[in-house]
Structure 1
Amino acid sequence: MSECVRRNMNIYNNEGLLPLHVAAKAGNAMACEAMLSGGYADLWAQAKYSGWVPLHFAAANHQKAVIDVLLEAARKEGEWSREGRRVALPKLHDCGRQLAMDILSKDCSLTDEEFVLRAKKTFPELSYFRGRSDTTPDQSAAVALDPAEIEFRRTMGALLSVFWVCADRYDDFVRNQPPNNRLSRENWDHIQRWAKNVVKLTDPNEPDAVDAMLCFMSMHDLGKMKDFREELAPGYQDHDAGLSHILSKSPEVLPSYCRLPDKYQLLIETSLKVDFNFGQYLQAENLPANIKNVKSLLGNKGDDALAFYLFHIFADMAGIMGAKSLDGSLFMTETMFNNFKKGLATLQLLTHESMNDTYDAFLKLRGEEQGLKFETPTDRAIIRLACCSRVFDKEGGRAVLDAWNQLEP
């Protein structure tokens, strides 16, 4: 009898799913527990077409009771090694590596639509963007969107930005930008050199680098999904800290991360632990003390970790208006990249400069473009005020200075 049951448990249905996949997807925790405790089903059996294991179906459908059952079964089997996780996910690993190789090939012919379709098949985490979200409603969206959908589209914008940079698709990247503020070819070449020589992202002989960056971008905002975070990181409010906890305690629910080589798993783990808001730095909202964590990252992990972290910030910013359109990067215009470049250049000074000197170097660069001097504490305050007001030229700088001078002493 038991042998007959075991055989039936290993028969795929028309959708390429085993009974355990179906039960996990439907949220039937009792059935999952019975199949596993009786030894009738394989916890790590992959779906025929997607390569997903039961845990991924449960996570994608926010089936908390099933997630608990499957994670407990995994713990009873013993803690997986990193290598063990990779071996168990061959289909997803092969898909990720092939996508990266295709992007880096000289004759890459992938269209945006083809890339998006393959990304959805390659990174199961993209299906987790559903349910409640911490996302602030995006007023830039062309239509009213669910908060989780906004975050999903931003994530797709970030993934597409990685694709456009790594495949050297300048025209695709800038196609929807205003002609008078379109990212210049000169700055695009700067991005290409940075991606190749500093981030080391576009070497055809190292497709794992692109795969890892795509993996990170596919999951880096999952902590904003309240249901996902509360199920797997209860008590965490910060989305990065929550995701970091999940990577530490329940990495099996993030298959793309699990299948990466150790080097890139550690880069992702390190990046998530950097408590630093680069956007606030670019607007001079934060203080020199806020740079401490970046300096610690550089000191402990080296240039590769800083480059990986900063490129992920670039891709995230480039895709931030994805809720409005995924036809190119609406955000990363000439003005915005020039500002990003200043932040990038000054943070790299941390290898040999103090936090205060690094912060001052950024303010000086911003002050120069605003036509504002940098000599006294008052000058610092005026430049910071102009940065917070998103002033990028001398005309705006004069307006801020005039407004300041009209204030009562």
Structure 2
Amino acid sequence: DDEYQRTMGALFAVYWLMRLDTDGAAAFCFGVDDDWRPLSAESTSPRRAASEMERRRAFFEEVQWSFFQDVLTSAGLLADAGGDAQGDAAGASARPARWHNEERTLAMLALTAIHDIMKVKALVPTVAAEHGSFRGYAAGEAIHDHDVALGYVLERYPGALPSFQRLPKAQQETLQFTQGKMEFNMGWLVQAE
């Protein structure tokens, strides 16, 4: 199904973009083989049209990969050895030049995994009477906007999503902000809109 493929693509994109200092750029541009090793412009399998390979090669060689790293650093997922993603320099000497913040990364992966689950009709929540209304939806009304529905579940029923519930409180609040106050659309990020 297309939603599943997009979600898997987004998870891989996060993984590869966080590995730009190793093999992430090659995997991001050319994919991986059956043993999960990154492909290259010279890979013969899978067969791709010459024009497609030229576009992939051009992107691989011409993109400013540091821009991706800057976005991930700004989001708190990556940090330089001089300090962590929250500004703490403690223990920096033991870290590699660039490292990932495990809590922020876990939160991003959790959001990536759950961001479209409310498109499943069986999971669409109905605003409970005790909540009155929620972002324009009245008590007893089903929330058919999947982003608003996810925000409702994260805010009112966080235990319904174990991958969210088990995040540290600060990361839960960040995800609630993206779905509630910011109205973040994961598709815009994934599709670079």
User: Which letter maps to 1:265?
Assistant: Q
2:35 — aligned with what? Answer: none
**Normalising by the residue count of structure 1, what TM-score does the alignment of the two structures yield?**
0.30
User: Which letter maps to 1:260?
Assistant: L
User: Which letter maps to 1:180?
Assistant: R
Distance (Å, rounded) in 2 between the aligned partners of 1:273 and 1:178: 41
SS at match of 1:237: coil
Corresponding position: 1:194 with 2:71: yes
More strand by share: 2
Relative contact order higher in (CA < 8 Å, ≥ 6 apart): 1
Corresponding position: 1:228 with 2:123: yes
Query: Identical aligned pairs, as a percentage?
Result: 25
**Normalising by the residue count of structure 2, what TM-score does the alignment of the two structures yield?**
0.61
Measured after TM superposition, the shift of residue 221 of structure 1 is 0.7
- Provide closer, same or farther for how the CA distance between residues 200 and 217 of structure 1 changes in structure 2, counting only shifts above 3 A: same
1:171 — aligned with what? Answer: 26
Corresponding position: 1:251 with 2:158: yes
Paired residues of 1:158 and 1:315 also in contact (CA < 8 A): no
Measured after TM superposition, the shift of residue 190 of structure 1 is 1.5
Paired residues of 2:119 and 2:146 also in contact (CA < 8 A): yes
Measured after TM superposition, the shift of residue 231 of structure 1 is 6.9
Measured after TM superposition, the shift of residue 271 of structure 1 is 0.9
Measured after TM superposition, the shift of residue 245 of structure 1 is 1.1
Which structure has the bigger radius of gyration? 1
Corresponding position: 1:218 with 2:113: yes
Distance (Å, rounded) in 2 between the aligned partners of 1:163 and 1:235: 35
Structure 1 residue runs of 5 or longer lacking an equivalent are 1-148, 277-308, 318-336, 341-409
Distance (Å, rounded) in 2 between the aligned partners of 1:314 and 1:187: 20
1:35 — aligned with what? Answer: none
Paired residues of 2:148 and 2:180 also in contact (CA < 8 A): yes
User: Which letter maps to 2:190?
Assistant: D
Distance (Å, rounded) in 2 between the aligned partners of 1:313 and 1:231: 24
Work out which of the residue numbers 160, 177, 189 in structure 1 matches 2:12: 160
Structure 2 residue runs of 5 or longer lacking an equivalent are 32-51, 80-98, 129-140
1:332 — aligned with what? Answer: none
Within a 5 Å distance, the mapping from 1:7-18 to structure 2 comes to: none
Distance (Å, rounded) in 1 between the aligned partners of 2:55 and 2:187: 25
- Provide closer, same or farther for how the CA distance between residues 199 and 230 of structure 1 changes in structure 2, counting only shifts above 3 A: closer
Within a 5 Å distance, the mapping from 1:10-409 to structure 2 comes to: 149-168=1-20, 169-175=24-30, 178-180=53-55, 182-185=58-61, 186-196=63-73, 198-203=74-79, 204=99, 206-230=101-125, 235-274=142-181, 312=186, 315-317=189-191, 340=193
- Provide closer, same or farther for how the CA distance between residues 274 and 249 of structure 1 changes in structure 2, counting only shifts above 3 A: closer
- Provide closer, same or farther for how the CA distance between residues 205 and 154 of structure 1 changes in structure 2, counting only shifts above 3 A: closer
Distance (Å, rounded) in 2 between the aligned partners of 1:225 and 1:238: 11
Distance (Å, rounded) in 1 between the aligned partners of 2:182 and 2:100: 32
Distance (Å, rounded) in 2 between the aligned partners of 1:260 and 1:230: 22
Deviations 1:69-89 (A, max 9, x none): xxxxxxxxxxxxxxxxxxxxx
Matched residues, number: 137
Distance (Å, rounded) in 2 between the aligned partners of 1:250 and 1:258: 9
Distance (Å, rounded) in 1 between the aligned partners of 2:180 and 2:155: 12
Distance (Å, rounded) in 1 between the aligned partners of 2:76 and 2:154: 24
User: Which letter maps to 1:210?
Assistant: T
User: Which letter maps to 1:187?
Assistant: Q
Deviations 1:109-147 (A, max 9, x none): xxxxxxxxxxxxxxxxxxxxxxxxxxxxxxxxxxxxxxx
